[in-house]
Amino acid sequence: DAVLERCLDAETQRWTTIPLGYTRDMAEEYLAGLLEPSPEIASWAIEVEGRYAGTIDLRAMPVDGGAGDLGFVTHPAFRGRGVMTEAVGLVVGRALDAWGWQLVRWQGHVGNWGSAKAVWRHGFPVPV
């Protein structure tokens, strides 16, 4: 329910590639896909006070095993609380330290200051 709620949020739809008209079936399919192990994608659910607060993932670049993309989305109830900033630090640290990646890339839409702040605090450039 929380994933569906997040995906129906207007701000989430504004700044992500989540399809318009998102349905419960789509949310269930998304969650089922996360349960399947993949060498290309690692995803984590973020929990705060026993509630779903968002999702963060790393996607390995197919041409370079030492690099990948960072993606994340915060549930509306947890925005502005530093939850994603903390998660970004943990996940980027894992990629660079534990996995030996040389590069973690993040892309965002210009004007998406909520997401930009979460990565900027960890040394990523702000999109201009």
> Which pTM does this prediction carry?
0.86
pLDDT band at 73 (very low <50, low <70, confident <90, very high): very high
Q: What is the pLDDT of residue 17?
A: 85
Angle between helices 83-93 and 113-120 (to 10 degrees): 50
| Contact in structure between 77 and 51 (CB atoms under 8 Å) | yes
Q: Who has greater pLDDT, 127 or 86?
A: 86
β-pairing, 64-74 with 51-61? antiparallel
Tokens at 80, concatenated: 């502005």
Cα(15)–Cα(12) distance, integer angstroms: 6
